[in-house]
């Protein structure tokens, strides 16, 4: 399903369309004066968590920081980073040959109704916990059916552990990803979300949409095979309600890329 999203900024009760044709009555109007914006993104810096086998992390080099010969202040930097680290997108091609790359994903996929499933209490006693179909149906019993095209976010409670690698990943051995422990999605639950609910995207507040102890990444492979992108290392999911948020997660548009950094936010009524 393709979503046609139209937004109007409202000032003093008057919708300003900036020269565009009048919005239909069915269009969604966002009044910024009554909207709360939650940042779902960890900042990129020297402490940003990357997968243990990543050859490097985030690097920021100063090109200029100071006053120029003409007397005005000027700063510019060079950054370098692998695609997969920090708050980022997993494009389907990351685990499925011929699937959508970062630049292929329709932009509508990056904006959708948010649904936040909270398994933090279960994960507290089991760092290898995975989301189950029963968790999903229990969520729906309390909050209604997950709509087609929704962005389903899994709150495990791991967000506050960022950026402590040992606490966040379960192991901080350099170059070794064989002994990680953190919760995430389970393949049966994701298959249900994809086939039965036709979700547009999934995301989690841990380092992977598969649990840390996974070695063959079934969730990645399943989501990728159905062109469902994933969001990893999300922040502040504890500030979102189970329903009612609009999620916007816009990645760098890297031509042919398998992922990339994301600036993700959620819009909520104040």
- Percentage of the chain exceeding pLDDT 70: 89
Residues spanned by the domain of 127: 37-55+83-269
Does 153 or 3 have the greater pLDDT score?
153
CB neighbour list of residue 90: distance below 8 Å, 6 or more residues apart: 84, 209, 220, 223, 224, 229, 230, 231, 232, 258, 259
CATH of the domain at 155: 3.50.30.50
Q: Please, how many CA atoms are within 13 Å of residue 173, restricted to the half-sphere of its CB?
A: 7
Contact indicator for 64, 74 with CB cutoff of 8 Å: yes
Q: What pLDDT was estimated at residue 28?
A: 59
Q: Are residues 200 and 222 in the same domain?
A: yes
Q: Are residues 9 and 135 in the same domain?
A: no
The string of pLDDT tens digits covering residues 229-248 is 999 999 999 999 999 999 99
Over range 41-66, report the average pLDDT.
97
In a domain, 78, yes or no: no
Whether residue 180 sits in one domain with residue 215: yes
More confident residue, 222 or 29: 222
pLDDT value of position 32 = 82
Share of the chain above pLDDT 90, in %: 87
Q: What is the structure's pLDDT at 7?
A: 47
44 and 162 both lie in a single domain: yes
Checking if the pLDDT of 71 tops 90, the result is yes
Q: Is the dihedral of CA 108, 113, 114, 115 positive or negative?
A: negative
Active site residue 181: no
> Within this chain, do residues 5 and 138 fall inside the same structural domain, yes or no?
no
The answer to pTM > 0.75 is yes
Answer whether residue 60 is part of any domain.
no
Q: Across-strand partners of 48?
A: none
Quick one: 133 and 222 in the same domain?
Answer: yes
Average of pLDDT values for 116-123? Answer: 98
What's the mean pLDDT when you consider all of the chain?
A: 91
In a domain, 43, yes or no: yes
Same domain assignment for residues 250 and 178: yes
pLDDT tens digits for range 134-156 = 999 999 999 999 999 999 999 99
Instruction: Compute the average pLDDT of residues 253-261.
Output: 98
165 and 89 in a common domain:
yes
Do 128 and 171 fall within a single domain? yes
Looking at the fold, whether 3 and 47 belong to one and the same domain comes out as: no
Instruction: Give residue 10's pLDDT band: very low, low, confident or very high (50, 70, 90).
Output: very low
69 located within any domain: no
Q: Count how many residues are written for the chain.
A: 270
Question: What are the angstrom distances between the C-alpha of 237 and each of 117, 154, 247?
Answer: 10, 8, 11
Residue 2 pLDDT grade (very low, low, confident, very high; cuts 50, 70, 90): very low
- What total of structural domains would you count in the chain? 2
pLDDT tens digits for range 159-175:
999 999 999 999 999 99
Whether residues 23 and 45 share a domain: the answer is: no
For residue 17, give the 3-state DSSP assignment: coil
Residue closest to 130 by CA, chosen among 27, 19, 208: 208
Catalytic choice (84, 88, 94, 220): 94
């Amino acid at each position: 399903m393709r979503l046609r999203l139209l937004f109007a900024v409202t000032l003093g009760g008057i919708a300003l369309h900036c020269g565009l044709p009048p919005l239909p009555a069915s269009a969604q109007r966002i009044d910024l004066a009554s909207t709360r914006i939650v940042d779902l993104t960890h900042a990129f810096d020297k402490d940003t968590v990357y997968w243990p086998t990543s050859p490097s992390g985030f690097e920021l080099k100063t090109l200029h920081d100071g006053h120029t010969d003409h007397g005005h202040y000027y700063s510019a930097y060079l950054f370098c980073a692998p695609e997969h680290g920090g708050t980022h997108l997993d494009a389907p091609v990351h685990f499925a040959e011929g699937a959508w790359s970062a630049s292929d994903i329709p932009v509508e996929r990056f904006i959708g109704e948010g649904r936040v499933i909270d398994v933090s209490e279960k994960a507290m006693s089991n760092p290898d916990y995975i989301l189950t179909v029963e968790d999903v149906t229990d969520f729906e019993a309390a909050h209604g059916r997950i709509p087609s095209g929704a962005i389903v976010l899994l709150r495990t409670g791991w967000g506050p552990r960022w950026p402590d690698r040992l606490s966040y990943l379960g192991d901080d051995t350099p170059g070794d990803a064989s002994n990680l422990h953190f919760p995430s999605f389970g393949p049966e639950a994701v298959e249900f979300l994809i086939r039965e609910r036709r979700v547009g995207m999934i995301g989690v507040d841990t380092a992977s949409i598969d649990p840390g102890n996974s070695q063959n990444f079934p969730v990645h492979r399943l989501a990728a095979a159905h062109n469902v992108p994933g969001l990893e290392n999300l922040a502040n999911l504890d500030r979102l309600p189970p329903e009612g948020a609009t999620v916007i997660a816009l990645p760098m548009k890297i031509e042919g890329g398998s992922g990339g950094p994301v600036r993700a936010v959620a819009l909520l009524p104040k």
